[in-house]
Amino acid sequence: MTFFCMQKLVTFNHVFWNSISSFTYYHEVVKTRFSFSFKYFFMFSLILGTLLTIVVSLTFVPDVNQFLKRFALRAPALYPNDLVITVKDGKLATNVTEPLHFPVPLELFSDTPGVISDQNQEYLLTIDTNAQINDYSNSHSLIFVTREQVVVPDSDGVGFRVYPISSFDDGTIDKNAVTKLLDTISPWYPFIVPAMIFILWFTLTILLSIIRLISLSVLTLILRVPAYFMHISLTYRKLFQIGLHALTLPTIIQILMTSFELYPPIPFFNSIVFLLYSLVILSELKRKPATSPIQKL
């Protein structure tokens, strides 16, 4: 089994390097079965997606783990012991002096949060049942709650949206209710990081592969035009098969440029690189084909 896997990896490595460095290799690609190229694309997507998942995970997993530890220890203390919030008949009331401010909980993000002056303080939530909606802009708060409305920022970051308290069920929130909620969700903490990693892997491996295949189906239609004028008698299926290999180089270039935060001011840059690379391949296919046998995946 180990030998079989090693043989597959050696073959994949051979196909990978030839797909990005040898135009003559494509003479052999057009001779082989479509399934060969699709297997290569699948393995390339799987390996690339897994490697990217590992690299990206290393950048956020330690921070997320630290946040979860801090949240488990410090979140219960964020809610005042004597605070009772009541919602009844579409109106909200509290049993404390207002306005009631909940600062952004910096202690959840750092063990040594800095001290912020009152003038520069930003709040996660402010409750003021005597305020009006227009007071939101001066509240320095992300969420602003009045007697009858909940005000939150709009998606554009400029305006705001208003939700009536009447849209919420009647009920009471106190320290006991908050503690019970935290106790209910705490058993799920160990699954958060694995779930995030799986979602990341699924996105980078499966979803991006589907997007590449959809893009390739369109780009292959475009390639039929130069192939026709170059008198290269390849079917759409064969051009698509060539594209399964030719996608390798533009994908690697895109990843490297993103890693170094290089974003060319050219729309569809990756597609343009693919088309140019494919045109060179088509030019090569007009020449005398090579005779070296292709390896099987």
The 10s digit of each residue's pLDDT in 99-137 is 999 998 988 988 877 665 555 568 999 999 999 999 998
In a domain, 182, yes or no: no
Alpha-carbon distance of 184 to 187, in angstroms, equals: 7
Beta strands in the chain (DSSP E): 85-88, 91-94, 100-103, 123-127, 141-145, 149-153, 160-164, 171-173
The pTM for the full model equals 0.83
Q: Say whether both 101 and 28 belong to one domain.
A: no
Q: Say whether both 253 and 197 belong to one domain.
A: yes
Q: Is 127 exposed, middle or buried (0-12, 13-18, 19+ CB in 10 A)?
A: buried
Residue 76 has pLDDT above 80, yes or no: yes
Q: Say whether both 202 and 157 belong to one domain.
A: no
Q: Say whether both 33 and 92 belong to one domain.
A: no
In a domain, 295, yes or no: no
- Domain stops at, among 126, 143, 173: 173
Handedness of CA 258, 262, 268, 271 (dihedral sign): negative
Residue 120 C-alpha from the chain's centroid = 32
Q: What pLDDT score does 272 carry?
A: 95
CB 205 within 8 A of CB 50: yes
Q: Say whether both 166 and 220 belong to one domain.
A: no
Q: What pLDDT score does 48 carry?
A: 97
In a domain, 229, yes or no: yes
Number of domains in the chain: 2
Which one, of 153, 157, 148, 96, lies nearest residue 125 by Cα? 153
CB 144 within 8 A of CB 131: yes
Which residues lie closer than 8 Å to 249 by C-beta, 6 or more apart? 19, 20, 273, 274, 277
Q: Say whether both 200 and 256 belong to one domain.
A: yes
Residue 264 has pLDDT above 80, yes or no: yes
| Average pLDDT rounded to a whole number, residues 210-227 | 97
Alpha-carbon distance of 237 to 154, in angstroms, equals: 47
Residue 11 has pLDDT above 90, yes or no: no
Q: Say whether both 245 and 106 belong to one domain.
A: no
Q: What pLDDT score does 290 carry?
A: 46
The domain of 119 spans: 84-173
- Domain stops at, among 109, 138, 173: 173
Q: Which residues pair with 88 in a beta bridge?
A: 91
